[in-house]
Structure 1
Amino acid sequence: MASSSLCPLALSQGDPAGIGPDITLAAWTRRDELALPPFIFIGDPDVLAARARLLDLDVPLREADCDEAASVFSRALPILPVSAGVTVVAGEPHVATAGGTIAAIEKAVALAMNGDVAAVVTNPIAKSVLYAAGFSFPGHTEFLADLASRATGRPVRPVMMLAGPKLKAIPVTIHIPLSEVPHALTEDLIVETCRIADADLRQNFAIARPRLAVAGLNPHAGEEGAIGKEDQQIVHPAIQRLRAEGIDAIGPLPADTMFHDDARRRYDVAICMYHDQALIPAKALGFDESVNVTLGLPFVRTSPDHGTAFAIAGKGIAREASLVAALRLAAEVGRSAGKGN
């Protein structure tokens, strides 16, 4: 098991009606077997206690602060209490929980910014629940960037990366309708995304010279303009600028031939033009092992690559593998970034 001297990870509760409590409890019960790094859960102790009873899991819970968490972790699941706001029923999302979900994320980020934890790991949220409560951000990634911007007093540009055992993939545009992608995609946006990816992979993933494979937007990367002009007019010039800066970027490449075994050996990360172009291959190649990593933040953040799965919450069938991978990667990257002990 991880040494108690390690700085703990902060694990936010996510939507309490989803599988976040299930996988948190399941991961802790396997802490010795999986050699998990110590983490402190930020959320409602009553939710965890009720879910443990529902799942027939014997998990002792203990309210603790960050200084105590690592030493407590071997015998109890340490918790920094944040109220869910209402009695939670597994599988039944409620708008009244939105405030607690947001508060848990804010607390985790504050701890990371203060250096009290090595990294932030976030359980899945339900954006529809947060939207109903007035949440104004497209998703977790954008909210985390706003928190970091407010804390540092400077703009923070987040980059979402799905990292799995077989593929790392980054979407340049994220949570926007597909019809808006061609209008949102710019040469500067591609260049900025790739710069952040290159810097983070060097600093936090110990890749001395990252190889970036840049996908085209259109089928066959536009067929020299026969199937759309964006690849010639936007993607190609961006790659030329990156190469002039010394960044090892190639493309635009046809996305339909980028993800087979031989192709993936030729690069370290795939830079994709829109959400599904990146996330479909990433999840197909490692659904239970892929991790959502936010690059470009002043702290390390990872998350499971799945959603709240309300339909199976509290039924004892949710798999904790992606959360385990997220915890492990957060600890590893936190150490590389010099945020752990």
Structure 2
Amino acid sequence: MTIYNIALIGFGGVNRALAELIATKNALWEQDLGFRLNIVAVSDLQLGSVISPNGLDAKTLVEANFSKGGFGQLSGGSPDANNEAIIKTAPADIVVEATFTNPIDGEPAVSHCRWALQSRKHVITTNKGPVAIAAPELNAIARAHGVRFEYEGSVMSGTPVIRMAERTLAGAEVKGFEGIVNGTSNFVLGRMEAGVDFAAAVAEAQALGYAEADPTADVEGLDVRLKVVILANELLGASLKPEQIKCEGISRLSPSDIKAAATANRRWKLIGSAVRNTDGSVSGSVAPKQLPFSHPLAGVSGATNAVSLDTELLGDVTIMGPGAGRIETAYALLSDIVAIHAARSTCGMKEVA
């Protein structure tokens, strides 16, 4: 039976949800997936850091109501976060990077991933920043050190759009895609269609936990732009940077725009797209578009995400599923570990009779 020791960098909603799953699902994973997960370290900006070579109790981590610096109360703990030391010295096989997304330079997450890979530790992340900005570099480091860099959850949360396209649709020849990959903006547009004005719809999204206190990244398309870069580079072999993607959000849409579209049997959606051009180059964009009701993306509502892949052999193939949520995103991390396990990597693996 295989045990993977993991270090959690960030202990907000996503990594906390992964710890919840470890506390309740480890026995099932051992039976169905062939491995168990053992948390040996955690570092968090608010809670501090802790290392335990023999493992930390996942249930205690989840249920204890730690205050600021609370990890300092634990054996091997400190009230201060020390991400670099945890990443480099913890006896972990896999580092789980789930800190905040920086859309400018990807830091500090890029450095977190780089340190882990250079330490011959696998990295899994849901963080869009390092994937959109530094994936080629990080993948090269991973290959050079015999480990893997996995990031399924960076787009569409736990819905496996990247692996679906690369593995299940291998050979179908993806030529482009268009998608709804931001649940907040999609929710806001749906509420506006129901007659709620933009500001009130954003406030509703914030109250429901879909939108941050500053919703700019969602409603102005900045979050979608990072995801377009990730998908274009991953599925179309592009080398795009975020600044190369034309980007327009939904804040300029008025109630009259929404009403006029409905009258014409059309619906506004914030669409992220990319296409391979005839000269082999790839171009992408983010913009609100009017879609006819018959379009496969027109009926995608609420916080649901969907991507329609344009393939040479199958035509359009649409993948739809949850685009947000703590447990859903934690599942993406699990799927990355499944991929690492399936690759039969022996790096840092501990075999137990």
TM-score, length of structure 1 as denominator length: 0.40
Q: Which protein is richer in strand relative to its size? A: 2
Greater share of residues in helix: 1
